[in-house]
Structure 1
């Protein structure tokens, strides 16, 4: 299933775009856009899809999604049926954040937050409640007040631990590119893994590409990526497999081979270890949700003015 491209219109007088979405039920709308997205979900329970990550979410779910990584939420019930479900969405540009940090070193922590968010981040319980404390300012009619609130929230989140969500390069090669914060040696290894993951990759080959010894590569890789070389390669392969499971009807054995696994049994074992479900169950997550939303009544007919398909925008221009 191909993700729809969405255009986020910031307006001529805003550095960040804030959207307060309220509706009866949050539908499955698989999409991506060039902006970072911080989303707080309120009064809703269901499934959250970030790249190849599929997980349950509940009250005060708070997630940061990087540019061009497909994502959606799909609710199955409201926590309080008497109230609408809601999402507080903050979109911002990564280049703007980095320029701000260059000028104001007080915001250097935001650059680290963007680096950590390369695969999406889910913040621990309590972070969403803290963000709710800023909602009056974040939903202010004054752009400057919204900006101040967004910066305060992002600065606070930069100090918190968070769980990475998607596999490296899940669904889009752009999202798996080196962030620019890794040493050149590690960046060369990441680029090689990104293009050659379907082939056998030996540590000796990667070490030669990096110009480091195998021992040094292993140490530096774990230091900068937070996991071993072997686990990272498997996560890249699983991410590619997830894309094939959702975009195609190819048999699992074919997907295993094209994703770099020696056989279907090994693929199933690794997939279950990473996703806690079988490849077929993963495919069914997307298929069943799409069918449920197609039969939902009433249909969701309106979208945010700041989240419009580029095609429609060009037609007006």
Structure 2
């Protein structure tokens, strides 16, 4: 099976990308990307596929995957059925890690970590338990705190016991994926689409960003992304619309315009084809699901009720 090419978006002000994923089950998503990936999987057990290494995994599974090695996790069962399965992911660039080691001797352990992870590295359970205790700063809303926590985790893991996973020949599975300068060129196009999806996008502009002909760019998208340029742009626009439907009370006509659709009719048609429901029905369903998980989110994002009442009383007295 050809692995899908994943574009990892770091953001303009971040050196690492931290992703907090919660879902009822972990689907099989065979993919690769040019970044290193450290993944801690919790409340989940199933199969882990790293290159040609297939293993069972359980709670607090901690694995470091090197660039362009196909991988995925797959699980239909949670350790605790009433709670979601969780994956905490740190993506980082290998050249960035080496530059950090060059500039700061304190980060020399990063070199050892990258060498050990050449074919993937599965850490022993105590390392996963230790990282679990570091999640608060790693999931901070402050980018500097996330960076500090990520560097501390990576440097500590440089000497943590672990075992290699894939054989060197497993990297050949990406021969049908991006190689050479293709990831950089595709990333430039994807970044342009992410920044300007709400505007009319011409194929000629995307080709200019990648320094590719229209025929070559079209072929790259179908081969590496798995869909045409037009379908990818439509998917990005629908994804943005979904976020606005869930996070705002803006009229659907406004959301359609801000998501890059010329008119509401076209938006409704494409949205229903992609999500098998209308935008209005999606918004209602999202509101219901959000209410069902409000108690869980409150533990992470809100003050305790007593502090909220105290603040309210102070405002009323003022």
Q: Are 1:140 and 2:140 an aligned pair?
A: yes
> What TM-score, normalized to structure 1?
0.55
Provide runs of 4+ in structure 1 moved above 4 Å.
Answer: 308-311, 313-317
Contact persistence 2:60–2:128 (CA under 8 A): yes
For residues 4 and 235 of structure 2, the distance between their equivalents in structure 1, rounded to whole angstroms, comes to 17
Q: Are 1:88 and 2:88 an aligned pair?
A: yes
Contact persistence 1:6–1:309 (CA under 8 A): no
Aligned-pair CA distance for 1:18: 0.3
Residue 224 of structure 1 corresponds to none
- For the pair shown, the structure with the greater C-alpha radius of gyration is 2
Residue 107 of structure 2 corresponds to 107
For residues 7 and 21 of structure 1, the distance between their equivalents in structure 2, rounded to whole angstroms, comes to 17
For residues 116 and 66 of structure 1, the distance between their equivalents in structure 2, rounded to whole angstroms, comes to 10
> What TM-score, normalized to structure 2?
0.55
For residues 173 and 49 of structure 1, the distance between their equivalents in structure 2, rounded to whole angstroms, comes to 13
Residue 98 of structure 2 corresponds to 98
For residues 5 and 92 of structure 1, the distance between their equivalents in structure 2, rounded to whole angstroms, comes to 16
Q: Residues 45 and 313 from structure 1, CA distance in 2 versus in 1: closer, same or farther, beyond 3 angstroms? A: same
Query: Structure 1: 5+ residue runs without aligned partners?
Result: 176-307
Aligned-pair CA distance for 1:80: 0.2
The CA RMSD over aligned residues, in Å, is: 2.2
For residues 29 and 236 of structure 2, the distance between their equivalents in structure 1, rounded to whole angstroms, comes to 23
Residue 46 of structure 1 corresponds to 46
Aligned-pair CA distance for 1:316: 6.3
Deviations 1:124-144 (A, max 9, x none): 111001001110101100110
Q: What does 1:53-132 correspond to in 2, within 5 Å?
A: 53-132=53-132
For residues 75 and 57 of structure 2, the distance between their equivalents in structure 1, rounded to whole angstroms, comes to 9
Q: Are 1:156 and 2:152 an aligned pair?
A: no
Query: Structure 2: 5+ residue runs without aligned partners?
Result: 176-224, 238-318
Deviations 1:150-196 (A, max 9, x none): 00100110011210000013143789xxxxxxxxxxxxxxxxxxxxx
Deviations 1:225-251 (A, max 9, x none): xxxxxxxxxxxxxxxxxxxxxxxxxxx
For residues 74 and 93 of structure 1, the distance between their equivalents in structure 2, rounded to whole angstroms, comes to 25
Q: Residues 134 and 103 from structure 1, CA distance in 2 versus in 1: closer, same or farther, beyond 3 angstroms? A: same
Contact persistence 2:119–2:166 (CA under 8 A): yes
SS at match of 1:86: strand
Q: How many residues align?
A: 185
Contact persistence 1:7–1:309 (CA under 8 A): no
For residues 28 and 152 of structure 1, the distance between their equivalents in structure 2, rounded to whole angstroms, comes to 30
SS at match of 2:2: coil
For residues 118 and 171 of structure 1, the distance between their equivalents in structure 2, rounded to whole angstroms, comes to 10
SS at match of 2:113: helix
For residues 40 and 139 of structure 2, the distance between their equivalents in structure 1, rounded to whole angstroms, comes to 13
For residues 137 and 155 of structure 1, the distance between their equivalents in structure 2, rounded to whole angstroms, comes to 16
Aligned-pair CA distance for 1:314: 11
SS at match of 2:137: helix
